[in-house]
Structure 1
């Protein structure tokens, strides 16, 4: 068991299933408290979950672990992971009885408009007759893809152009739920070297499930339409704080990765990034010790905590130096940043499928990626890690494996990674979800659905629910979904001559 824990704690990139949030994200206030290094307790204690015990055993041997390792184990660990190793029998993370509700679960209109967006892109890119691929990363229960396929079916020429539907999903349970919805409970799922195969109930289209996007072949003749809805927020993040060093101590930066300019060095000659690491909370720690607000002290004291590494870690040497956006923050004392390497890997993958790359050129860029998630529009996230359980915010360091973890998405990093990976793409947005959905006709679609219901008491109640649902999606209040959630598009490079639908543009024939 211990060797399995260590292998998981030290593993490289593992692709996560995505995850949504029922209401606007809320910043966890206490994550970065207690920066002093904390000794790891070795005495026997009772842990809330088997995964909590495994984490403690791993940390006892390896020392405090990066936040990204903690998130990866909590979300996709082999035993007790939130998505891949459910502890509670029959647990469903999604919906009113679960931990959160996704936009597709709130209203069918959401998925329908996403389907219409891809139809519009297909039309704008010359209506290819074949070679179209639909790819969704982290599909949840499959509700979004189901609504998209039902909508695309009405556009027969595009529907007939689709070769394959790919679903990137790490969870066995969720793959089964997606198959049951998209193909039928009696549909057969077969396995191959690529993944798992079945046939959609919509036009008999083939569906392939993979646990990694890298398993999906890249073919320059294909037109990939990729959707990532509340996926990036569940990717593991590394957190760093800038510290002032004593005058006699010089910052440590590997020469092979020393991208710091002379102006950077002049701005902060004696500052260095230190990584935030996770360790068990010492036994006997109280909420008062952690500085937990009074209103949040009804929950048990979290079993783990985030502290500042007393020395420079490998990640601290490389990640905060990997972008001029991060290096610019060295002029701000005690600055905090969150960096998500997995996010950049996915963005680069999307971009090269659409626009090709220097090593794998694509004669004619084609396809599109639509990313819908929450995070700041033009700043770097900091102190954003949160835990959600049963529709309320809880500590992200309590009950590992039973709490959903997420963090704000750095849209600037996605744009940077995509445009560096492929000269054949350009990005549009991010724009607020309210702006996007209203431009796509969310109100008009809701009115159309209401008219189809006719009259009567039952119809009146359904009409009210339709109105409540679509207005929730575009709510521009301080924590409203329409304001907090953003939409970003990656398209073939066209020198900005055409804006896509939903981003201020129209369909180009």
Structure 2
């Protein structure tokens, strides 16, 4: 989330070593024990055994294993029938709260299709990290009402690494239509638009790339689940620093330079005594009160990632000289944003003498809509969290049974997209409340309320009041701008085509209106 990199990573981490031993001169730790430690999950044991051989691992590697390991990952190995989504799961997403959310996204796609000239063919719909498929289901149910656009859609691509979630998406989007394996993944037929194929791929790079097509890409609560690396600016004393913060020099003495250098925060197991001494024989290994089995420490030497990732943006470099600064960087997120941009605007090509860059896609087209949570303009810091049964828990407890997420760096995504293609521009981020308000969430909710009130069928009358409450509370929850409200902490951002001679158009939801 090809040889398959997820399976390769899992194989590396599942090296089996029965005696727990940890030695790392880089981290100043050396201990061993034959103590039969009680791990909360099989993945926790596998991770600890791998770290005992390789040394502490990056936060990104830890997240990747916890979420997508073939041997106990949260999204890929849930064989107990547990559904991560909804009231009975660990968290609930916007499409599950109200159907209006997906309907408005469908309207946004139609509006962009209209603004780009109403192409009669070559439209590809794509969603990365589609969950149970609820969002795409609402989007397709909406788009089918716009016959011309519906007729222009050639394929629907679902980028999904979890077999269990793929099955849930297939049942929702395709019903009883059979699913078949193909060279890039799996394929079935859409129940709303019978002539259109729904195709599942494990990675976006498997989705065919065709400059004649117009991809409309959705990424809802996708980037927050991608692995991050965490770095801290640590004061160092070195005769040859990379970043100088202060100097002292006295006559007859060599000059000593005080510098700051980025060091990566890495994951290692906590000492057994700090965990098991707090447990009684009756304490559950998965108890919310159990101390975390893993911990973050600061690498005392540079890691490969600390030497190049903080150098990739001026935003990171500006913080390097401030001791204690912490930044979070997600290379996979930047890669996906770049991939979106290239599919919409084309890859860079050699420019003419004027210096204006050309694109390998003659006419940029399509759009990407990103909805996720994170700060609008600053670099996320200390945002890694675990989520279980709708509560925030330690990200270092019960690996594989706790969802992990981190705030999205929207400015980094925008920077990656613009740098990847000369044929795109970025709008936003704007608060979800503002975006949904501009898209007409109140008006659509009022229509649903009125329809529910007028429904006099026997089946409707029995639960009319509950339905009215669900509609009313649902849309208001999505636009709540309280300190932790979804309307405030969630943001919307769009990657759109950039036309050299037609700049200045603002899309609907981002300050503009519907154009035809």
- The answer to whether TM tops 0.5 is yes
Q: Does 1:467 align with 2:459?
A: no
> What CA distance in whole angstroms lies between the structure 2 residues aligned with 1:127 and 1:223?
11
Question: How does 1:125-204 map onto structure 2 within 5 Å?
Answer: 125-184=116-175, 186-204=176-194
- Indicate the residue corresponding to 1:351 in structure 2: 341
- Indicate the residue corresponding to 1:501 in structure 2: 508
- Indicate the residue corresponding to 1:341 in structure 2: 331
Q: Does 1:300 align with 2:280?
A: no
C-alpha displacement of 1:339: 0.5
- Indicate the residue corresponding to 1:488 in structure 2: 493
Q: What are the Cα deviations for residues 450-488 of structure 1, in whole angstroms up to 9, with x where unaligned? A: 111135563233112201000000000000000000000
Q: What are the Cα deviations for residues 20-46 of structure 1, in whole angstroms up to 9, with x where unaligned? A: xxxxxxxxxxxxxxx975546543311
Q: Does 1:65 align with 2:54?
A: no
CA spacing shift, 1:271–1:142, aligned 2, 3 Å: same
C-alpha displacement of 1:8: 2.8
Q: Are the aligned partners of 2:288 and 2:393 in contact in 1 as well (CA < 8 Å)?
A: no
> What CA distance in whole angstroms lies between the structure 2 residues aligned with 1:246 and 1:497?
50
Q: Are the aligned partners of 2:223 and 2:372 in contact in 1 as well (CA < 8 Å)?
A: yes
> What CA distance in whole angstroms lies between the structure 1 residues aligned with 2:151 and 2:438?
27
> What CA distance in whole angstroms lies between the structure 2 residues aligned with 1:143 and 1:171?
16
Q: Does 1:280 align with 2:279?
A: no
Q: Find 2:111's aligned residue among 120, 128, 131.
A: 120
Q: Does 1:100 align with 2:91?
A: yes
Secondary structure in 2 aligned to 1:95?
Answer: coil
- The higher radius of gyration belongs to 2
C-alpha displacement of 1:288: 12
C-alpha displacement of 1:264: 12
- Indicate the residue corresponding to 1:223 in structure 2: 214
Stretches of structure 1 that go unaligned for 5 or more consecutive residues are 12-34, 253-259, 290-296
Secondary structure in 1 aligned to 2:237?
Answer: coil
Q: What are the Cα deviations for residues 120-161 of structure 1, in whole angstroms up to 9, with x where unaligned? A: 000000000000000000000000000000000000000000
Q: Does 1:422 align with 2:413?
A: no
Q: Are the aligned partners of 2:66 and 2:73 in contact in 1 as well (CA < 8 Å)?
A: yes
- Indicate the residue corresponding to 1:410 in structure 2: 409
Q: What are the Cα deviations for residues 287-346 of structure 1, in whole angstroms up to 9, with x where unaligned? A: 999xxxxxxx96101110011011111111010111111001023211000000000100
- Indicate the residue corresponding to 1:431 in structure 2: 430
**Residues 468-477 or 324-333, more deviating:** 324-333
CA spacing shift, 1:380–1:315, aligned 2, 3 Å: same
The number of equivalent residue pairs is: 464
CA spacing shift, 1:6–1:58, aligned 2, 3 Å: farther
> What CA distance in whole angstroms lies between the structure 2 residues aligned with 1:263 and 1:280?
34
Q: Does 1:318 align with 2:308?
A: yes
Q: Does 1:212 align with 2:203?
A: yes
Stretches of structure 2 that go unaligned for 5 or more consecutive residues are 1-5, 14-25, 248-256, 279-286, 350-358, 455-460
Q: Are the aligned partners of 1:5 and 1:54 in contact in 2 as well (CA < 8 Å)?
A: no
Please give the root-mean-square deviation of Cα atoms over the aligned residues, in Å. Answer: 2.4
TM (norm. structure 2) is: 0.86
Q: Find 1:270's aligned residue among 259, 263, 266.
A: 259
> What CA distance in whole angstroms lies between the structure 1 residues aligned with 2:512 and 2:29?
54
Q: Are the aligned partners of 2:275 and 2:292 in contact in 1 as well (CA < 8 Å)?
A: no
Secondary structure in 2 aligned to 1:140?
Answer: coil
TM (norm. structure 1) is: 0.87
C-alpha displacement of 1:228: 0.1
C-alpha displacement of 1:247: 4.2
Q: Find 1:8's aligned residue among 7, 10, 17.
A: 10
Q: Relative contact order: is structure 1 or structure 2 higher (C-alpha 8 Å, sep ≥ 6)?
A: 1
Give the structure with the higher percent strand: 2
Secondary structure in 2 aligned to 1:46?
Answer: coil
C-alpha displacement of 1:194: 1.4
C-alpha displacement of 1:9: 7.6
> What CA distance in whole angstroms lies between the structure 1 residues aligned with 2:387 and 2:31?
26
> What CA distance in whole angstroms lies between the structure 2 residues aligned with 1:424 and 1:137?
22
Q: Are the aligned partners of 2:166 and 2:200 in contact in 1 as well (CA < 8 Å)?
A: yes
Secondary structure in 2 aligned to 1:68?
Answer: helix
Secondary structure in 2 aligned to 1:241?
Answer: strand
> What CA distance in whole angstroms lies between the structure 1 residues aligned with 2:179 and 2:296?
42
- Indicate the residue corresponding to 2:458 in structure 1: none
CA spacing shift, 1:68–1:9, aligned 2, 3 Å: farther
Secondary structure in 2 aligned to 1:350?
Answer: helix
Secondary structure in 2 aligned to 1:47?
Answer: coil
